[in-house]
Each structure stands twice: as C-alpha cells, then as structure tokens.
C-alpha cells in the first residue's frame, strides 16, 4: 500500500507515537512544535505550541486525555490533547530527552540530560488525569544516574519497575516506588548507547535499540535477554508490533557520517524481523536519511517512522502482511482452531444434554 508522507516538520524527527486507540499519531521534531495527525489518512489535526527549543519526546496518556512532551528548553509540558492548551510546565536544569506515562496515566517519568555540572536524572511526576485539575509542582521522586546517564526509560507492567537504558549500553531496573536501583546489566556492547526502549502491550517485556547495530528483546522482571536482532548499521529505534509477531527496527548510517554516499549506502530502511525466530523478514525503503524513530500502531494496522529527513511515513499494512506466516505458525494456528472447534462441539453436546 502506498505510504502516507506527513511533511509537517521542518527539521529532523525525534519521536513518533500512536495513542492507545491507534487513530492518532503524535510527532516531535527539532523544530518547536508537536504535530498530531489522523493515522488513517495523514491529515493534520493540529499542533501544540509553546516549547522554545527542539522537542525530544512526546507521550500520550492511555485514555488520550493528556499528552506530555520534553524539550531542549529544559521543560516538560503537559497538554490537553483535545484543545491543545498547555496545562502545566515543569522546569529542569537540563534538557528532557524522554517522557513516558505509566500504564494508567497517573505517573509521568522524564529523563533529563547530563550537562553543565548536572548529572542525568530520571524524575517522576504525579499526574491527575483531568484537564481541569491542578497539577502538582512537586516531583514525586528523582533518580540520579551517577554512573552512566540514562538515555531512555519507561514504566514496566503494574508500574512496578522503572527500566532505563544507558549511554554505556547497560540497562537498569529501578524500584518504581522507592527509586532504588535493583540491577544493572551490560546488555548491549559496552560504550554503545541505547537509543530507544519500547514496550510490549502488557509492559512485561520491552525492546531496546542500540548503536551497536542490534536490538534486543528483554523481560522487565529479570532483564533477561530473550531475543537479539542483528542489523548491519547502527539502530536508532525499535518497536514491537501487535497482531503479528514482528519487531520493526529503524536506523542507518549516523546523520553526521552521511556524506555524499547514496541512500543505498546509508541503509535508511525500516527492517522487519520475526519476533520469535529473530529472522529478518522484510525491509521498507523510503526515507533519505536515517530513521530516528519508529512506532507500531497499538491496533496492529499500521506503523510509522520519522527520519532525519524531516518526514514521517505512515504505512498501513496490506493483506500480504497479515497473510504472511511461517509454516510452523500456520500449523499452530490450525491446531488451535481445531481445538477450539472441538471444544465448542463438546459444549454444544453438553448443552443439549
């Protein structure tokens, strides 16, 4: 299917995000506005104005009431999704690189940059999921990353842990209530920063992307590496699809290394891997700069990618995508169907009795 090209940004994309219903796409870029688009046709619904610097990150509250954004102007802003009104601004000493709501939207975490004598931190804010409510000024908690700064972070299932990916390639697990570091494992190649961390729908496992040219699927509880997806170029982003057992990786030759080489050379492609078999199943071309961010539709109908080239590309999957199955998957599906049928027949018989 033809991709939809969203050309509303003037500079490199930093993050794209679907809301929980999968009907809206939020995108941030190094220009100073957040855009929101209809996922199904690419029409721009509106923008959120207020930030004074490059916007690094955006997240949507699960009930699509609020959105939060973090920016290089050292603030996190909370917005009314519907009206575009800025509800609250929290100020920090350094830029905010990542924000994420927990699963019920009552807590928001922000990752702040290490700079100018300030260590990188992960801050937690209490949120009232109500457009009219007064939001608290106080930070509920601050985790200081004194070893290696956090580049990305997120909430696990039941808001039990905060998981952070670090600049040195390690992944930490923090207790979400106390902020204590529980474990820290060197998961990616030492010294290769983790560039993205995205969750499976139930937040029991997540995928990390790294400059070490791999993405890894990791459990939230034990930080056990389940799967590794190996690419041939540094990865900037990775996401997990629903409906189909795939993961999507985005990356490419780093923007600063791109010279006069062709697009082919830069490897600016979205790569699809089978989540369970770790095998590459396909690539989608189109961007002419590295992919900075990819996101999968929570309803499984589409995915979108944002590139250094300033474009967001939304791809709706067509029939072939849904029909594609490994032989063993088909086998399993048929078996499950059969079992289901048998069970139903049994029930019917019992009902008759």
Residues that bind another protein (CB under 8 A): 20-21, 62-65, 103-105, 157-160, 202, 204-205, 219, 226, 232, 245, 261, 264-265, 276-277, 326-329, 331-332
- Distance, in Å, from the CA atom of 149 to the CA atom of 169, rounded to the nearest integer, reads 10
For another protein, which is the closer residue by CB, 338 or 348?
338
> What's the closest the beta carbon of residue 325 comes to another protein, in angstroms?
11
Q: Which one, 183 or 336, has the nearer CB to another protein?
A: 336
Nearest approach, Cβ of residue 32 and another protein (Å) = 30
What whole-number distance in Å separates Cα of residue 212 and Cα of residue 208? 11
**What values do phi and psi take at 157, rounded to 5?**
-60, 145
Tell me whether residue 262 or residue 351 sits nearer to another protein (CB atom): 262
126: nearest Cα among 150, 107, 110:
107
Q: How far apart are the first and last CA of the chain?
A: 51
- The least CB distance from residue 109 to another protein, in Å, is 17
Of the pair 11, 332, the CB lying nearest another protein is at 332
Give start and end residues of each alpha helix (H) in the chain. Answer: 263-266, 319-323, 327-352
Closest distance to another protein from the beta carbon of 161 (Å): 12
Cβ distance to another protein smaller for residue 157 or 185? 157
Q: Which is nearer to another protein, 222 or 318 (CB)?
A: 222
3-state secondary structure of 336: helix
CB of 92 to another protein, least distance (A): 28
Whether 75 and 90 have beta carbons less than 8 Å apart is answered as yes
Residue 293 CB partners (closer than 8 Å, separation 6+): 13, 14, 15, 16, 196, 236, 237, 250, 305, 306
Distance (Å, rounded) from C-alpha 312 to C-alpha 304? 7
Residue 33 Cβ, how far from another protein at the closest point, in Å?
Answer: 26
List all residues 6 or more positions away from 51 whose beta carbon is below 8 Å from its beta carbon: 32, 33, 34, 69, 71, 73, 75, 77
CB-nearer residue toward another protein: 20 or 86: 20
Q: What distance in Å separates the CA atoms of residue 69 and residue 49, rounded to the nearest whole number? A: 11
CB of 87 to another protein, least distance (A): 17
At 30, list the tokens: 């190094």
């Amino acid at each position: 299917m033809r991709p939809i090209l969203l050309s509303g940004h003037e500079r490199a994309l930093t993050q794209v995000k679907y809301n929980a219903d999968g009907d809206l796409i939020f995108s941030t870029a190094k220009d100073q506005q957040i855009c929101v688009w209809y996922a199904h046709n690419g029409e721009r619904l509106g923008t959120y104005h207020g930030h004074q610097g490059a916007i690094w990150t955006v997240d949507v509250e699960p009930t699509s009431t609020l959105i939060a954004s973090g920016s290089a102007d050292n603030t996190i802003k909370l917005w009314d999704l519907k009206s575009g009104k800025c509800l609250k601004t929290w100020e920090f000493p350094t830029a905010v690189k990542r924000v994420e709501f927990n699963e019920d939207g009552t807590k928001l975490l922000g990752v702040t940059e290490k700079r100018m004598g300030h260590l990188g931190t992960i801050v937690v804010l209490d949120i009232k999921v109500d457009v009219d409510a007064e939001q608290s000024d106080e930070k509920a908690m601050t985790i200081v990353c004194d070893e290696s700064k956090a580049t990305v972070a997120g909430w696990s299932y039941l808001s039990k842990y905060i998981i952070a990916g670090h600049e040195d390639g390690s992944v930490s697990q923090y207790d979400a209530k106390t902020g204590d570091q529980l474990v820290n494992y060197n998961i990616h190649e030492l010294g290769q920063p983790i560039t993205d961390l995205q969750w499976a729908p139930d937040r029991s496992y997540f995928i990390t992307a790294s400059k070490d040219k791999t993405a890894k699927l990791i459990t939230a509880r034990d930080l056990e590496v389940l799967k590794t997806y190996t690419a041939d170029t540094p990865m900037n982003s990775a996401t997990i699809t629903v409906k189909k057992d795939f993961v999507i990786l985005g990356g490419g030759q780093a923007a600063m290394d791109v010279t006069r080489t062709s697009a082919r050379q830069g490897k600016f492609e979205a790569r699809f891997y089978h989540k369970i078999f770790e095998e590459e199943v396909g690539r989608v071309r189109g961007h002419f700069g590295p992919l900075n961010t990819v996101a999968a539709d929570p309803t499984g109908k589409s995915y979108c990618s944002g590139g250094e080239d300033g474009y967001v590309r939304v791809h709706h999957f067509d029939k072939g995508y849904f029909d594609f199955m490994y032989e063993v998957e088909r086998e399993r599906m048929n078996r499950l169907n059969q079992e289901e049928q048998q069970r139903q027949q049994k029930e019917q018989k019992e009902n008759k009795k």
